[in-house]
Amino acid sequence: MDDKYTFRQTLLRMLAAYFGLSFKQLGARCGMTERNVSHHLTRKRRRDDLKDDVFERLLGAFGCSPAAVSAVAECIETLAAIEAAEGLSPEELAEIAEAGRGSKRLTWEGLSEVARRTRAVPIEGYPEPNEVEPARRQAERLLRRLAELPPSLRLAVVRVADRYQSWALCENACETSEREASRDLERAAVWASVAREIAAKARGPEWWRHRVRGFAAGFGANVLRVKGELPLAEAEFVTAKGLWLAGADPLGLLDPGRILDLEASLLRAQRRFAEALARLDEAIAVGRSPERALVKKGFTLEAMGDYERAIETLTQAEPQVDRSGDPRLAYMLSFNLAVSYTHVGRFSEAAELAQRVLDLALAQGDETQVHRVVWLRGRIQGGLGNRHEARALLAQARREFDARGMSYDVALGLLEEAVLLLEEKGREAEVKRLAWELGKVFASKGVHREALAALSRFREAAERDEATLELARRVLRFLFRARHDQGLRFES
C-alpha cells in the first residue's frame, strides 16, 4: 500500500471510486464540505489514522452493506500482502493470487448455500423434552464442522445459518472454550465469541434468550479471568449473572452449577476465598456435575494452603469423577491430589498417583500437562530422597517451561532444585548458578511483584553464599501460595 495513505483512507477512496462519488457528492451525503472530505482522504498521514467518528461518518455516506466494505478491505489487505512478498517471481505471485481467488469463490458459494438451505429451518420456542437429546446430538456434529473451519469463518457460518444458532450448540461452544482456556487462550477466546454470537441469535421466548445469553457471557468472562484481566472479567460476569437471573429455564437445560463454579473461579482469582467456597457449595447442591465443583473446591483449598482439607475434598470427589468418565476432570483431580499429598509429606501416596496422572495427560495429548507431570515426579522423587533423579526431572521440566514462556513454573522448578542442593553439603556453587538463572524470571512478565520480592531475597543470599535450606524452603512455600494469592506478602 502507498505509504501516503492509511488503510482507512485507501478503503474510503476505493469505495468512492467504485460507487462513482466525488468528494463533493460524498460531503453532501454526510454533511461535510468538499474541502473537509478532501482533507480527510488526501492529506498525507503516518501513524495517525482517521478518527473513529470521522471514519464512521464517511463510511455511512456510501450506504453499502458490511459485506461490501469487508470485500474492499480484503482487497486492500491482499494488495499489501503481494507488495510485501519477497523472493517470489511475478509468475509465482500470479499463481498464488489465482488460487486465492478460487478459494474465496468456493468459500462464498459454500456460505451462501448454507444460508439458503438452512433459512427455513424452524427453531422457535422453548425446547420440548423430546427435542433435548436430538438437539444435543446435532450440536456435537455441528461443533465438529465448525472446528474444521478457520476461526474467522466460524462466526460467519453462525451468522448466516439458522441450524448453527441453537442453545445446544451454544452450550457446546461454551464448554469447548473452557477446555481450551487451560491450553490455548486464543482458541478459548474464539470459541467464547462463537458462543456469544450463537446466544445473540438464539430464538425463543425472551426469558429463555436471556438465560442463554447469560450462560454464554459467563464463559466469556472466564476467558478474561484466565488472561488475568480481573476487572474486565468481573464486569462481564456482572452482565452474565444479570442476564442469567433475568431469564428462566423450566427444564434446567443449561446447568446452573456452571455459572456458580465459573463465578467461584473468578472469586478465587480475586482472593475472595470464602465467597468462592460458598459458590462451589451451591454448585455442588444444585448443579448437574457436582464432581466438577468438588474438584474446583479441592483446588481452591489447595490455593489457600489448606492441603489437608484439599485432600479430603478431592478424595470425596474421586468416585463421582470416575463415574463421569471425563478424562480432563480425572487429570485435574489426580494431579491436584498428588500435589497436595506432597505438601503434607505423603510422598508415597503421591508416587502411587503419578503414573495415572501421566497416562491421563498423554491420553489428552496436552504437552503442557505432560511437562507438569515431569515436574511433579521430580518433586515426589525429591521427597522420597532420590535427589539425583529428582534434579534431573526438575531440570527437564524447567527447560520445557522456559521454552514456553511459563516463568512462574520455571521459578518453582529452580527453587525445588535449590532445596535439593542445599540439603547436601558443598553445593553452594551450583545453588549460585541456579540463582543466576533467576535473571530470566525477573525479565519476564509472568511473575508478580510479591513473588519477585521473595525470589530477589533468595538470589541476593545465594550470591553472597548465604542461602540457607530454611530460606529456600520458605521462598518455595511462599511461591506456591502466592501463585493464587497475589496479595500475600513475603516476610524477609
CB atoms within 10 A of CB 428: 14
pLDDT for 420 equals 93
What is the pLDDT confidence band of residue 297, given thresholds at 50, 70 and 90?
A: very high
3-state secondary structure of 125: coil
Taking residue 407's Cβ as centre, other Cβ atoms within 10 Å add up to 19
Statement: residue 119 has pLDDT above 50 = no
Give the pLDDT band of residue 59 (cuts 50, 70, 90): confident
Long-range CB contacts (< 8 A, 24+ apart) of 64-73? 64/15, 64/19, 68/15, 69/11, 69/15, 72/11, 72/14, 72/15, 72/18, 73/7, 73/11
Kindly state the average pLDDT of the residues 422-433: 86
| Alpha-helical runs (H) found in 228-326 | 230-246, 256-269, 273-286, 290-303, 307-324
Would the pLDDT of 429 be above 60?
Answer: yes
Residue 136 pLDDT > 70: yes
Torsion over CA: 199, 201, 204, 210 (sign): positive
Q: What is the pLDDT of residues 460-470, one digit of tens each?
A: 888 888 888 99
pLDDT tens for residues 255-287? 999 999 999 999 998 989 999 999 999 999 999
Give the Cα separation of 171 and 165 in Å (integer): 11
- C-alpha distances out from residue 360 to 82, 373, 375, Å: 46, 10, 15
Q: What is the pLDDT of residue 29?
A: 81
- Please, which pLDDT band fits residue 44 given cuts at 50, 70 and 90? low
Share of the chain above pLDDT 70, in %: 85
Q: Is 384 exposed, middle or buried (0-12, 13-18, 19+ CB in 10 A)?
A: middle
In this structure, of 118-122, 233-237, 246-250, 437-441, the range with the lowest mean pLDDT score is 118-122
Within 10 A of 275 (CB to CB), how many other CB atoms are there?
15
| Per-residue pLDDT, 107 | 45
Alpha-helical runs (H) found in 61-149 = 66-84, 90-118, 132-148
What is the reported pLDDT for 65? Answer: 67
- 48, three cell numbers: 495517525
Q: What does the pLDDT read at residue 265?
A: 94
- Mean pLDDT value across residues 52-65: 75
Mean pLDDT of the chain: 85
- The more confidently predicted of residues 220 and 451 is 220
**CATH code assigned to 1-79:** 1.10.260.40
Q: Is the pLDDT of residue 362 over 50?
A: yes
Specify which of 52-61, 151-160, 388-397 reaches the highest per-range mean pLDDT: 388-397
What does residue 122 show for φ and ψ, rounded to 5 degrees?
Answer: -80, 130
The full set of domain ranges for the chain reads 1-79
Q: Is the pLDDT of residue 118 over 50?
A: no
Query: How does pLDDT run across 91-108, given as a tens digit for each residue?
Result: 656 655 555 554 454 445
- Residue type for 240, please? A
| pLDDT (0 to 100) of residue 227 | 86
How far is it, in rounded angstroms, from Cα 74 to Cα 375? 46
Identity of residue 280: L
Of 191, 171, 172, the C-alpha closest to 181 is 191
Mean pLDDT is lowest, of 189-203, 347-361, 405-419, for 405-419
3-class secondary structure, 132: helix
Cα separation of 123 and 229, whole Å? Answer: 36
